[in-house]
Structure 1
Amino acid sequence: MPDETLLNDDPSVLGDKSRQPELLVSAVLHLMSHYTVSSTQKDAEQTRTRLASVIERHLKVLANLPDLAPVLKATCQQLSEQWASLVERKSPQQSKMHRLSWLLAGARRDLN
């Protein structure tokens, strides 16, 4: 599982040195590899959704860097939108599953 600090970092508030495109690209590639690895782990859906959200934010920051080459800006923008739609699709499913498991747990306690 990825380092918890990676999941909580907001790339838009990182220091000036961390805004260098090379470091952000490196970070987003690292996060993407964790997303792929977590796909083989059981019960990793919540982690994957959180990773997808962080990946989307990193790509959005990259797309908005003023000195980034136009082709990289466009690619990062498109990928950011794709990751955002993935997060949107996964988030409602998770909240429904969480509520269902909570209700089922309560029903089991009532039966005992």
Structure 2
Amino acid sequence: MAIEYPNSFLTEPSALPTQPELLVSAALHLMSHYSTRSGEAGACLKLASVIERHLKALAGHGELTPVLRATCQQLSEQWAGHVERASPKVSSVPLFDRVFRAAR
């Protein structure tokens, strides 16, 4: 059984109605989709970031029980760490030094 969500529901958790069940459902759907693609080279960093944002939104949702909010907060932090580790690293060498070395 496939559940159809408007695209904005999946990419922007703030676009969801206030019913926490829809946000939980979308987060679980995204996590399942991510896990099926994790074997592919370079699993989708954007999808992982969207999952993190959904979990963060759930962690701050007042209608969820404290245990569920705490779980979502912890998972949000884990996904944020995953996104940070998987993000391309920016060169720490200043631009001037890179240009000067290339000129030699």
Instruction: Give the TM-score of the pair, scaled to structure 2.
Output: 0.72
The corresponding residue for 1:19 is 18
Q: Any unmatched runs of 5+ in structure 1? A: 97-112
Identity of aligned residues (%): 58
Pick the structure with more helix per residue: 1
Q: Any unmatched runs of 5+ in structure 2? A: 92-104
Provide closer, same or farther for how the CA distance between residues 51 and 6 of structure 1 changes in structure 2, counting only shifts above 3 A: farther
Q: Kindly provide the amino acid, as one letter, of the partner of residue 53 in structure 1.
A: S
Aligned residues: 86
- 1:27-74 Cα shifts (integer Å, max 9, x gaps): 000000110111133x4x2x5211110000000000111121000000
Q: Is the 8 A contact 1:53 1:87 kept in 2?
A: yes
CA distance in 2, matches of 1:33, 1:11: 17
Q: Is the 8 A contact 1:59 1:79 kept in 2?
A: yes
CA distance in 1, matches of 2:88, 2:8: 23
Shift of 1:8: 6.6
Q: How does 1:20-35 map to 2 (within 5 A)?
A: 20-35=19-34
CA distance in 2, matches of 1:9, 1:71: 25
Q: Kindly provide the amino acid, as one letter, of the partner of residue 24 in structure 1.
A: L
Shift of 1:6: 6.1
Q: Kindly provide the amino acid, as one letter, of the partner of residue 81 in structure 1.
A: E
Q: Kindly provide the amino acid, as one letter, of the partner of residue 59 in structure 1.
A: L
The 3-state SS of whatever aligns with 1:40 is: coil
Is 2:71 the partner of 1:75? Answer: yes
Q: Kindly provide the amino acid, as one letter, of the partner of residue 11 in structure 2.
A: D
Q: Which has the larger radius of gyration?
A: 2
